[in-house]
Amino acid sequence: MAQLRIALAQVNPTVGDLGGNAGLVAAWARRARDAGAHLVVFPEMVLTGYPVEDLALRSSFVDASRDALERLARRLADEGLGDLPVVVGHLDRRTVALVRPGQPAGSPLDGAAWLHGGEVIVRSAKHHLPNYGVFDEYRVFVRGDTLPVVRVHGVDVATVVCEDLWQDGGPVGVTGTAGAGLLLALNASPYERDKQDTRLELCARRAREAGCALVYVNMVGGQDELVFDGDSIVVGADGAMLARAPQFTEYLLVSDLTLPAAGPAARPAREPVAASDGTTITIERHVLSGDPVPAYPARPQQVAERLDDLGEVYAALVTGTRDYVRKNGFRSVLLGLSGGIDSALVTTLASDAIGPENVHVVMLPSRYSSEHSVTDAEELVKRQGVHARIVPIGGMVDAFEAELDLHGLASENLQARIRANVWMGLSNEHGHLVLTGGNKSELATGYSTLYGDSAGGFGPIKDLVKTMVWALARWRNAQVGSDLPFLHPFEGPPIPEAIIVKEPSAELRPDQKDSDSLPPYDVLDPLLVDYVEHDMGRDRLIAAGHDPDLVDRVIRLTDLAEYKRRQYPPGPKVTPKNFGRDRRLPITDRWRENP
């Protein structure tokens, strides 16, 4: 047996920032060296950020990634880190003599590389390319067909990339044949609810299948709609969890492992093996250091405490909002604060994400606004310390109505669009990013005004049904005094109880309530989850216990609102199927579940 100290660098890169991401790798590699690590591994595509989408089809971007990888190897050596093996994800390409129809231009690869001694010594690439949910990697990558096995201090270490763990066969399936003592899996696995237990079970199953310990390192941070939660894991050959990193924070997880020493028998440097998925995987062997390290006292393993279900969702929303603001160069945000639960939660998320001193809210009372809406909003401002101003819109509405003869819904929507004009004007004047307050229940049923309350640059709660909005508001109020790192230390509950318990209303006509147009949310939301997230058709929805008349009504509302959703800003994905990257339906569509 041999000892090896592995460092898992759970970091937050930015797509396209090759220089910044290389600096990130160098800084965290130094931390790993200072911790006595013998090997440090980084997430999938850490050098380019992930997902790069169609940037992978630009030869200039692929060239820049390859050049950045070579420069990073030299930089690590120049900074005294050349003797530390560093494993990074990057964008590569396969050299082909002929461009084949049906393959991505330039044959890009989702690559993994070993850096050592100032050089790139090993290159490989993801074999299984996901083409479901938020992924469409067949569009932008070709698959790899090698399994690198690198001998480090007497231990044979194999490397795979993300989806290679999730699918049977391929490089993971031949790891046991290769005789590896450790399997590294580089990941950029987005967060969604209940995924953590699935990941742990997957890692345990693949470790047992490969017959060796497994290191799963995951990215952290937000990228457009996706949020990466970290949650890096080390499991033993028997599938038992040995170490686990915290969620939603950059972290260096250091784990001492006792692993099988590599056998003395000579094996070919290149060995083609038939994988169980019908492909051929070539095992490529390299030797960095054949002798085990002298015995040393192992550090205690670290297993971070998990967040509860609501805490995970809230942390994902904070992370996604923070990084969208930060990575896109904004310093502040602005939103309309109505005194309702949606804008209250968005304000609180923004305060937690970037600090209340960078949050600006606008109260826009109209002739139909209730007195308590303004006072409730003012109470929230007082509790959180955000910047606030009141801009009454009554006179603006009167001016429009003097020129346009609008009635009913058209008049209601006019008020919402005037409010949006105020937000966008202040955004242009002061450089704020406008946050929208629409939730998934409203987006599903079309209960929003196009170019009104749907206007803005980012929608923090667009993947939350209304009942989850209330649940998260109550959860956040209960965290006063918590030391969770993603929460601002408010002295008391940040959301007034009056906002949480009031009946929701758009306040666009006298005594308006959401229930005038929609069924109760505790009835509506389960139906929407089954239709939108579980893809149930009409018959299955009725069989699941939903009222047939309500099923027909909600299906019709949801299908007709597709054009609105297509124009809605991005927002963090936290469910298995969000409105955005996950769910892609035609706007022009005559298919009806109940013709």
What pLDDT digit, counting tens, does each position of 137-155 carry?
888 888 999 999 999 999 9
CA dist 158 and 183 (Å) reads: 5
Domain shared by 210 and 112, yes or no: yes
Q: Strand 270-274 to strand 241-244: parallel, antiparallel, or no bridges (unpaired)?
A: unpaired
Total domains in the chain come to 2
Longest Cα separation, the chain: 90
CA dist 325 and 319 (Å) reads: 10
- pLDDT at res. 522: 93
* Residue 595 belongs to a domain: no
Domain shared by 143 and 251, yes or no: yes
Domain that holds residue 10: 2-287
Q: Which residues contact 217 (CB under 8 A, 6 or more apart)?
A: 8, 9, 10, 41, 42, 43, 184, 185, 186, 187, 232, 253
Which residues define the annotated binding site for L-glutamine? 132, 189, 195
- pLDDT at res. 373: 78
CA distance readout (Å), 174 to 88, 130, 205 = 22, 20, 14
Is residue 162 annotated as part of the catalytic site, yes or no?
yes
- pLDDT at res. 194: 77
Which residues define the annotated binding site for ATP? 336-343
CA dist 316 and 352 (Å) reads: 12
Domain shared by 275 and 328, yes or no: no
* Residue 539 belongs to a domain: no
Which residue, chain included where needed, has tokens 């995987």?
A: 281
Domain shared by 153 and 252, yes or no: yes
* 371 burial level (CB within 10 Å; 0-12, 13-18, 19+): exposed
Which one from 44, 192, 225, 312 is the annotated catalytic residue? 44
* Residue 95 belongs to a domain: yes
- pLDDT at res. 511: 59
Residue that terminates a domain, selected from 470, 504, 538: 504
Is residue 379 annotated as part of the catalytic site, yes or no?
no
Beta strands in 94-245 (DSSP E): 108-116, 119-125, 146-152, 155-161, 182-187, 213-218, 220-223, 226-229, 233-235, 241-244
CA dist 566 and 417 (Å) reads: 18
Peptide bond into 51 cis (omega under 30): yes
* 516 burial level (CB within 10 Å; 0-12, 13-18, 19+): exposed
Domain shared by 179 and 328, yes or no: no
- Residue 164 has a CB neighbour count (10 Å cut-off) of 30
- pLDDT at res. 587: 86
State pTM to two decimals.
0.93
The DSSP call for residue 356 is: G
Domain shared by 271 and 329, yes or no: no
CA angle 191, 584, 43 (to 5 degrees): 30
Task: Give me the tens of pLDDT residue by residue for the chain, a chain 595 residues long.
Answer: 899 999 999 999 999 999 999 999 999 999 999 999 999 999 999 999 999 998 999 999 999 999 999 999 999 999 999 999 999 999 999 876 555 666 777 889 999 999 999 999 999 999 988 887 788 888 888 899 999 999 999 999 999 999 889 988 888 888 888 889 999 999 999 999 876 678 999 999 999 999 999 999 999 999 999 999 999 999 999 999 999 999 999 999 999 999 998 877 667 888 888 888 888 888 999 999 888 999 999 999 999 999 999 999 999 999 999 999 999 999 999 999 988 999 999 999 999 999 999 999 999 887 765 667 789 999 999 999 999 999 988 899 889 888 888 888 888 888 889 999 999 999 999 999 999 999 999 999 998 888 988 899 999 999 999 999 999 999 999 999 899 999 999 999 999 999 999 887 655 556 556 666 788 999 999 999 999 999 999 999 999 999 999 999 999 999 999 999 999 999 999 998 898 888 888 888 888 877 6
* Residue 251 belongs to a domain: yes
* Residue 61 belongs to a domain: yes
Domain shared by 224 and 323, yes or no: no
Domain shared by 281 and 344, yes or no: no
CA angle 570, 582, 552 (to 5 degrees): 100
Domain shared by 238 and 113, yes or no: yes
Which residues define the annotated binding site for deamido-NAD(+)? 413, 442, 564
- pLDDT at res. 101: 64
Residue that terminates a domain, selected from 504, 534, 561: 504
Beta-bridge mates of residue 388: 361
* Residue 293 belongs to a domain: no
Q: Which residues contact 547 (CB under 8 A, 6 or more apart)?
A: 523
CATH value at residue 434: 3.40.50.620
SS3 133: coil
Domain shared by 157 and 221, yes or no: yes
Residue that terminates a domain, selected from 504, 525, 543: 504
- pLDDT at res. 257: 97
8 A C-beta contact, residue 384 and residue 361: no
Which one from 137, 162, 212, 327 is the annotated catalytic residue? 162
Domain shared by 320 and 266, yes or no: no
8 A C-beta contact, residue 400 and residue 410: no
Domain shared by 274 and 361, yes or no: no
Which residues define the annotated binding site? 132, 189, 195, 336-343, 413, 442, 564
Which one from 126, 327, 573, 577 is the annotated catalytic residue? 126
CATH value at residue 236: 3.60.110.10
